[in-house]
Amino acid sequence: MENRNKPGGNFQDTLIFNDTIGHLGLVELPLKGRAYTWSNMQNDPLLEQLDWFFTSFNWTLSFPNSLVLPMAKITSDHIPCKISIGTAIPKANIFRFENFGLTTQVS
């Protein structure tokens, strides 16, 4: 019910949906920067999060920094979203050998 800006919706359907997600062992990818992904485009709009993004537990272990980024809404009543996949594997620093401080002795 908190995924919309106005009261309403079917609470029983919400419970069924949540039970199914739990039964399947799915993990929700977080949506960053927006609370809602759909609008009825009225003067006093109804806003809802209708679009959800899920993955498996194993995926989240391999790619823990994955998230969903909303994009610009142009003509549709839905917000297009992009999934950003990220790992926790640190990037290696580049090793550079600088020889300007070395001196050469000729004997």
Angle at alpha carbon of residue 76, lines to 55 and 51, rounded to 5°: 20
Q: Is 41 helix (H, G, I), strand (E, B) or coil?
A: coil
Tell me if 67 is assigned to some domain: yes
Q: How many domains does the chain have?
A: 1
* 8 Å CB contact between 69 and 80: no
Tell me if 93 is assigned to some domain: no
Please state the pTM of the whole predicted model.
Answer: 0.64
pLDDT at 99: 67
Structure confidence by residue, pLDDT tens digits, 5-20 = 677 777 888 889 889 9
Structure confidence by residue, pLDDT tens digits, 25-61 = 999 998 888 888 888 888 888 888 878 899 999 988 8
